[in-house]
Amino acid sequence: MVEEKTRPCPSCDGVMRRGVQEETVTFQGESLTYLQPGWHCENGDDGVLEGSDNDYADAALHEVMARAKHSPISPLMVRAAREAVGVSQRQAGKVFGGGPTAFYKYETAKAVPSEGMANLLRLALENPGLFTKPPRGTFNWPSAQDAQLLRRAITDDRLNAIVRRIYPQTDAA
């Protein structure tokens, strides 16, 4: 048998239980209802958040702020794309563009990414391998894969002839 976790409520001396409760956060007329884990008092709306409980409240606030600012992509999707590629916020600014603090601002809804950035991040979610971070100190551009992609994309014969001479190793592909 699992014992229920309880503790005294600091506000009313009632009993607080560990669990999940619906909460609503509002920002500039936009509202979001979400499930908030924490200690919730049986006598009212009082609650205590600890540890990772705050992550839910923060994420909900960032989501509703992004909605109010008409962001083309959710802050949670921005973070998911960055993590799928395996880079820090600062590194994401180099991989995707935007500068060293752009991804902190996107993930906290302090700034709204452009439509182009949102599309790029959706692409990264679907194909994170396209955005691999090159090893430190290497410069291997264009790779053979890049050259093949370039060859397939070019339809102009004159330009294609130039590409063939610059990247002859891709003729077989």
Domains, the chain? 6-68 (3.10.20.860), 75-131 (1.10.260.40), 136-173 (no CATH)
Region 113-138 average pLDDT = 85
- Give me the numbers of helices (H) and strands (E) for the chain, helices first please: 7, 4
pTM for the predicted model, two decimal places: 0.72
Structure token pair of residue 155: 């339809």
Alpha-carbon gap, residue 81 to 107, rounded angstroms:
11
How much is the pLDDT for 173? 46
| pLDDT surpasses 60 at 171 | no
Alpha-carbon gap, residue 97 to 90, rounded angstroms:
10
Predicted confidence (pLDDT) per residue in 76-124, tens digit: 999 999 999 999 999 999 999 999 999 999 999 999 999 999 999 999 9
